[in-house]
Structure 1
Amino acid sequence: MSVGIIMLVHTALDRAEQVARHWAAAGCPVVIHADVSVPPKTYKAFVKSLSDTDAIRFTRRHRCEWGTWGIVAATQAAAETMLKSFPEVRHVYLASGSCLPLRPVQELIDYLADRPRTDFIESATTADVPWTVGGLDSERFTLRFPFAWKKHRVLFDGYVRLQRRLRLKRRMPNGIVPHMGSQWWCLTRQTLSAILQDPERETYDRFFKRVWIPDESYFQTLVRLYSSHIESRSLTLSKFDFQGKPHIFYDDHLQLLRRSDCFVARKIWPRADRLYEAFLTDEAHAMKRTEPNPGKIDRIFSRAVERRTRGRPGLYMQSRFPNRNWENGLTGAKYSVFQGFAELFDDFETWLARSTGCKVHGHLFAPDRAHFSSGQRVINGALSDSAAIRDYRPRAFLTNLLWNTRGERQCFQLGPMDNQGAAWAMAKDSNAQISVISGAWAVPLFRANRDFSELRAEAARLQKIESEFLDKLRSSAAKARVRVWTMAEFVENPMEPLQLIIDELGAKNARRLTEAPKMMDLTGFGQFLQNLKNQGMHPHLMGDFPTEAATNRPAHHRQRKPYLVKK
Structure 2
Amino acid sequence: MLVHTALGRAEQVARHWAQADCPVVIHVDKGVPKRTYDAFVSALSDVPNLMFSKRFRCEWGTWGIVAASQVASELVLASFAEVRHVYLASGSCLPLRPVQELIDYLAARPQTDFIESATTADVPWTVGGLDAERFTMHFPFSWKRQRFLFDRTVEFQRRFGFRRKMPNGIIPHMGSQWWCLTRQTLSAILQDPDRDEYDRYFKRVWIPDESYFQTLSRLYAINVESRSLTLSKFDFQGKPHIFYDDHLQLLRRSDCFVARKIWPYADRLYEAFLTDAAGAMKKTEPNPGKIDRIFSKAVERRTRGRPGLYMQSRFPNEDWENGVTAAPYSMFQGFTELFENFEPWLAKATAARVHGHLFAADRVHYADGQTALNGALSDSAELRDYNANAFLTNLIWNTRGERQCFQFGPDDTQDTNWRVAKDPHAQISVITGAWAIPLFRSNRDFADIRKLAANLQKIESDQMDVLRSPYTKARVRIWTMAEFIEAPMEPLQGILDEIGQTRIRRLAEAPKMVDLHGFGQFLQNLKNQGMHPYLMGDFPVEHGPTATAKQQRKPYLVK
State which of 158, 161, 164 in structure 1 corresponds to 2:158.
164
Which of 235, 243, 259 is the equivalent residue of 2:253? 259
Provide the rounded CA distance (Å) in 2 between the counterparts of 1:202 and 1:257. 40
Q: Does 2:301 align with 1:307? A: yes
Which residue of 13, 23, 43 corresponds with 1:49? 43
- Shift in Å, 1:218: 0.2
What is the aligned partner in structure 1 of residue 233 from structure 2?
239
Q: Give 1:58-457 correspondences, 5 Å limit.
A: 58-457=52-451
Distance 1:509 1:22 in 2: 67
Aligned-pair identity in percent equals: 75
Q: 1:491 to 1:108 in 2, by over 3 A?
A: same
Q: Distance in 2 between matches of 1:72 and 1:87?
A: 23
Question: Hey, what's the Cα distance between the residues in 2 that align with 1:122 and 1:315?
Answer: 38
Correspondence for 1:498 among 492, 503, 510: 492
Q: CA deviation at 1:509?
A: 4.6
Per-residue deviation, 1:515: 3.0
Equivalent residue for 1:558?
none
Q: Which blocks of at least 5 consecutive residues in structure 1 are unaligned? A: 1-6, 555-567
Q: Is the 8 A contact 1:491 1:550 kept in 2?
A: no
Q: Deviations over 1:402-459 (max 9, x none)?
A: 0000100000000000001111100000000000000000001111111111111111
Does the 8 Å CA contact 1:107/1:289 hold for their aligned counterparts?
A: yes
Count of residue pairs the alignment pairs up? 548
**Mean alpha-carbon deviation: is it higher for 174-183 or for 150-159?**
150-159
The amino acid of 2:412's aligned partner reads D
The SS at the match of 2:431 is: strand
What is the rounded CA distance, in whole Å, between the counterparts of 1:379 and 1:550 in structure 2? 42
Alignment of 1:474 with 2:468, yes or no, is: yes
Distance 1:507 1:307, change over 3 A: closer
Partner of 1:561: none
- Paired residues of 2:349 and 2:504 also in contact (CA < 8 A): no
Offset, 1:516: 1.8
Aligned partners of 2:544 and 2:509: how far apart in 1?
A: 20
The alpha carbon displacement at 1:553 in A equals 9.5
Task: Give the residue type in structure 1 aligned to 2:237.
Answer: Q
Q: How far apart, CA to CA, are the structure 1 residues paired with 2:544 and 2:35?
A: 94
**CA RMSD of superposed structures (Å):** 1.1
| Residue of structure 2 aligned with 1:484, choices 466, 475, 478 | 478
Q: For residues 253-278 of structure 1, give each alpha carbon's deviation from its aligned partner in whole angstroms, at most 9, with x where no partner exists.
A: 10110110000000000000000000
- In 1, the alpha carbon distance for the partners of 2:243 and 2:546 equals 73
CA contact (8 A) 2:403 2:501 kept: no
Report the CA distance shift for 1:509/1:194 in structure 2 as closer, same or farther (over 3 A): closer
**Using the alignment, how far apart are the partners of 1:431 and 1:58 within structure 2?**
63
1:192 aligned counterpart, secondary structure: helix
Q: Is the 8 A contact 2:489 2:509 kept in 1?
A: no
What's the secondary structure of 2:476's corresponding residue? strand
2:68 and 2:204 mapped to 1: Cα distance? Answer: 16
Q: Separation in 2 of the partners of 1:447 and 1:232? A: 80
Q: Distance in 1 between matches of 2:25 and 2:407?
A: 72
1:510: Cα distance to partner?
A: 2.3
Give the 3-state SS of the residue equivalent to 2:181 in structure 1: strand
**Aligned match of 2:11:** 17
1:39 corresponds in structure 2 to 33
Residue type of the partner of 2:282? K
Which secondary structure state, in structure 1, belongs to the residue aligned with residue 41 of structure 2?
Answer: helix
Distance, in Å, in 2 between the alignment partners of 1:146 and 1:308 is 34
Alignment of 1:520 with 2:538, yes or no, is no
Contact kept? 1:495, 1:516, Cα under 8 Å: yes
1:222-280 Cα shifts (integer Å, max 9, x gaps): 00111111011000000001111100000011011011000000000000000000000
Say if 1:491 and 1:551, in contact at 8 Å, map to a contact too. Answer: no
Amino acid at match of 1:154: F
CA distance in 2, matches of 1:489, 1:223: 78
Offset, 1:47: 0.5
Query: Does the 8 Å CA contact 1:355/1:507 hold for their aligned counterparts?
Result: no
In 2, the alpha carbon distance for the partners of 1:535 and 1:62 equals: 89
Shift of 1:506: 1.4
What is the TM-score when the length of structure 2 is the normalising length? 0.97
> Residue 248 of structure 1: SS of its match in structure 2?
coil
Instruction: Provide, for residues 81-116 of structure 1, a one-character-per-residue CA deviation record: whole Å limited to 9, x for no partner.
Output: 111111111100000000000000000000000011
CA distance in 2 between counterparts of 1:526 and 1:261 reads 80
Q: TM-score, normalised by structure 1?
A: 0.96
Query: How far apart are residue 364 of structure 1 and its match?
Result: 0.2
Q: Distance in 2 between matches of 1:143 and 1:44?
A: 39
Distance 1:553 1:196 in 2: 106
Moved more, 28-37 or 428-437: 28-37
Indicate yes or no: 2:456 matched with 1:462: yes
**Residue type at the aligned position of 1:476:** P
Large movers: runs of 4+ above 2 Å? 507-510, 549-554
Partner of 1:53: helix, strand, or coil?
A: coil
Give the whole-Å Cα distance in 1 for the aligned partners of 2:501 and 2:537: 30
| Partner AA of 2:278 in structure 1 | A
1:287 to partner: Cα distance: 1.0
Aligned counterparts of 2:190 and 2:86: Cα–Cα separation in 1: 13
Contact 1:492 1:550 in 2 (8 A): no
Q: Is the CA contact 2:134–2:206 (under 8 Å) kept in the aligned structure 1?
A: yes
TM-aligned CA deviation for residue 54 of structure 1: 2.2
Distance 2:393 2:488 in 1: 31
Q: Is the 8 A contact 2:234 2:240 kept in 1?
A: yes
Matches of 2:37 and 2:81 in 1, distance apart? 27
The DSSP-based 3-state class of the residue aligned with 2:361 is: coil
Q: Confirm or deny: 8 A CA contact 1:260 1:296 kept in the other structure.
A: yes
State the Cα deviation string for residues 22-51 of structure 1 (Å, max 9, x = none): 000000011111111111111110010001
The 8 Å contact of residues 522 and 551 in structure 1, kept in 2 or not, is answered as no
Does residue 1:8 correspond to 2:9, yes or no?
no
SS at match of 1:72: helix
Matches within 5 A, 1:524-563: 524-550=518-544
